[in-house]
Chain A
Amino acid sequence: MDTGMGPRTVAGRLEALPDEQYDRLMGLAREVSFPAGARLFEEHRAANQFWIIKTGSVALDLHVPGCRAAVIETLGPGDLVGWSWLFPPRQWHMGAEARSTVRAREFDAEAVRRLCGRDPALGYPLVLAVAEVIGHRLECARTRLLDLYGPYGSEPPR
């Protein structure tokens, strides 16, 4: 099967769960869609859901007073949208907006946390999958801090 690099996304990781666990987890999800421009969540609000994107693109943004929201990163098919639901204080660090029509699986975070608490054999791989996403995003953010394509590009030639 032509799976692409999909197994490295959170969707791919979860698909690797045993069928019975996968089905229980997916039982807590519902299919949703967002039109382009719809806000999935706002900074500092309670993180009660998370999503796995099927199609479309979501931008994570930060509000900067007096400016347009700054887009920090975009997420695409197979990506996890939101991990703040897993750790206290369970509030979003950023906002999220659909950049195009988005189809996604939406999970009830409270129900997923309860399921994981009851069944560590499911909770552990799920938390590992989320931790891997967080680690990967941290790695990417650090790489961007290096400003690899600059700083030479920042100044027009004299």
Chain B
Amino acid sequence: MNPAAARPSSRPFPYRVVRRARETADVATFELSPVGDALPPFRPGQFAMVYAFGVGEIPVSVSGLDDGEPTLVHTVRAVGAVSRALYGLRVGDTVGVRGPYGVGWDLASAAGLDVLVVAGGIGLAPLRPLILDGLAQPGRYGRLTVLIGARTPSDLLYRAQTRAWGAEAHIDVTVDHPEPDWRGDVGVVTRLLSRGTWSPSRVCAFVCGPEPMIHAVAGELVRAGTPPHRVQVSLERNMRCGEGFCGHCQLGSVLLCRDGPVTDWGRAEPLLAVKEL
């Protein structure tokens, strides 16, 4: 296998599904292995353009990184034509992958601070590699807190793994609609913020989920004293080229595929305040 160029590839590289795990009724996680050349390494928060042959191509974040291995892990929620086709893939199937694209999470900027991760729904997928990085370097950061919101208990991702994280990090989970045997919290994820034991001025936050959730979480943190530049958020817009050419993902002066999807709240808030931007 030849090492690929360090620049992202704008040509899809064939990758084969080597493992598939069903997370929920509409979410699956895949491990992809390069058929030939591998793409350059991805960082947590970056995304790939994944092509379901004959159907189409969509942006999907990396949800796991195997250190030193060329495999890619993605978690896909079936919402439309392409994501449904990806959800339906089986071990041995092949997809086309371009990337790595975008600016990832800047975990290094949290050195010496407490780390707060807030994830809503599928938003936990792009945050998982960041959480794993944080857990792997315990001395480097203060307390790690992970707050997870989901629609129902059956929609929770990576259930066994999040339970295991609880040994080293503080994990709180809440759902909008409980099921009869659910003994955990019920309510929006922002409600969990008030239970935190971190100091708002000494925390670095990483937030991904539906946009109104990002707004609510970032807004509460900033009101409580967290500097906006210490609240990193991952934003989603329709993306086509992934390389800053087509303008589909433009948000004001920002091209999210190139300058995002991760950005800090100081930069994101004024852009999100403009309707239909």
Binding site for B on A (CB under 8 A): 2-9, 57, 59, 68, 71-74, 76-79, 99, 140, 143-144, 146-150, 152-158
Contacts and interface: CB of A to CB of B under 8 A. Distances in A.
A73 B210 contact: no
A77 B197 CA distance: 11
A4 B196 contact: yes
A148 B194 contact: no
A153 B121 CA distance: 9
B158 interface: no
6 contacts: A3-B199, A5-B220, A8-B224, A71-B178, A78-B194, A149-B176
A74 B191 CA distance: 9
Nearest to A79: B194
Contact of B194 (A6, A57, A71): A6
Contacts of B84: 157-158
A68 to B, nearest CB: 6
Interface of B: 24-26, 77-79, 84, 87-88, 120-121, 149-152, 155, 174, 176, 178, 180, 182-188, 190-191, 193-200, 209-210, 212-213, 216, 220, 223-224
Given A4-B196, A8-B193, A157-B87, 15 more contacts: A2-B197, A2-B198, A4-B199, A4-B200, A5-B195, A8-B194, A77-B195, A140-B190, A140-B191, A143-B212, A144-B188, A152-B79, A156-B26, A157-B78, A158-B84
A8 B180 contact: no
Contacts of A144: 176, 187-188
Given A2-B197, A149-B150, A149-B151, A143 B188 contact: yes
B220 A74 contact: no
A69 to B, nearest CB: 10
A-B interface, 6 closest residue pairs, ranked by CB to CB distance from nearest: A149-B151, A157-B78, A148-B210, A149-B121, A156-B25, A152-B79
A5 B26 contact: no
Contact of A146 (B178, B196, B212): B212
Contacts of B198: 2, 4
Nearest to B155: A153
Contacts of B183: 99
Contacts of A154: 151
A149 B185 CA distance: 17
Given A5-B200, A140-B188, A157 B26 contact: yes
A41 B35 CA distance: 63
